[in-house]
Amino acid sequence: MNTLPKILLLYTGGTIGMINNPETGALMPFNFEHMASQVPELNKLGVELDAITFDPIIDSSDMRPSYWIQMAQIIYDNYSKYDGFVVLQGTDTMAYTASALSFILQDLSKPIVLTGSQLPIGTIRTDGKENLISSIEIAADKKDGKAIVPEVCVFFENQLFRGNRTTKHNAEYFYAFRSDNYPALAEAGIEIHYNTSALLPVSNSKQPLFYKEMDQSLAMLRLFPGITENVVNQICNIDGLKGLILQSYGAGNVMTDKWFTEVMQKTVSKGVYVLNVTQCRAGGVKMGKYESSKGLIDAGVWSGYDMSLEAALTKMMYVLGEKMNRTEAEACFKKSLSGEINTNLILTD
């Protein structure tokens, strides 16, 4: 009887899956169903691998909610057949995908590990092989018969991060991702060392909760010194707008101009959900800590706490997709669904 862990590899596109065409020298995607020929080390992992490739493959710059749902559907349909899942895509929007999948598929009992590379897997100095091998190991790892990492995560350059805490911060070097507000879930050296206290608990559910609707009727407003009332009004009055991510300064601060608070108040009164997150990479919003953010509370703007921009945007899509009323939406943003918020911040709010 075969007792090897079974892992499903889902290749959506991206640099990691590229090799050089020996005739033309141009980069082309290789067939992941025959990946052992490109990565012979996989034969020594002691896992059974299957692969599904998107057709056509997607440049990560073209990523959108419909592709997230497609990925989630494949994972959901194959959930009972595999011990874990590895998703390969381009790095530019990987943090968005990881955040989105953490809201689309909730209550997980199995790992969903996203990875990619800065160099094609067919080049000599590629980081793709190590990222792929370690991701598969993590997706297969169990303790006492249960998955060690039962959540959506990103593995890159020897570190495993919670997916909805991850941001791409470097376009050139191998350490492309950071998780400024949450510790690494694991570090890969000679062995993989897990930070067990940082991991989400394993769900007892045989299937995850699958939320198939992601509403894109939202916008982002990033403040900058000198932003005009006209610009803010143009964004807040977009036809069909349902959600707005406000990127404020520091701990959630905005300018004290009366017109800005009035625009936020009018926006909220129209039924638009406004979520305040910081422009800073680390730290979070503390509404009311300074005078400049107290007006936002009165206007009905909600705190995004220490959520990343990627998590805030995709959680808003999830909330709008579930057609939550204002009371339900406010309650949802005041709790951590998949580890995207430091719960201590909510308790002290």
Proportion of the chain in helix, strand, coil states, percent, rounded to 5: 35, 20, 45
Question: Is the link from the previous residue into 150 a cis peptide, with omega within 30 of 0?
Answer: no
Strand ranges of the sheet holding 218-222, from the earlier edge strand across to the other edge? 218-222, 243-248, 273-278, 302-303
Torsional class of 110: left (φ above 0), alpha (ψ -120 to 50), beta (otherwise): beta
Query: pTM to 2 decimals?
Result: 0.92
Distance CA 184, CA 85 (A): 19
Domains located in the chain, CATH noted: 6-210 (3.40.50.1170), 218-347 (3.40.50.40)
15 noted as active-site residue: yes
Q: Is 30 exposed, middle or buried (0-12, 13-18, 19+ CB in 10 A)?
A: buried
Which candidate in 3, 12, 15, 53 is catalytic?
15
The per-residue pLDDT string of the chain (349 residues; one tens digit each, 9 = 90 and over) reads 468 999 999 999 877 766 666 666 666 666 666 565 667 677 778 899 999 999 888 888 899 999 999 999 999 999 999 999 999 998 889 999 999 999 999 999 999 999 987 776 666 667 677 889 999 999 999 999 999 999 999 998 889 999 999 988 766 666 677 889 999 999 998 889 999 999 999 999 999 999 999 999 999 999 999 999 999 999 999 999 999 999 999 989 898 899 999 999 999 999 999 999 999 989 999 887 777 678 899 899 999 999 999 999 999 999 999 999 999 999 999 999 999 999 888 777 6
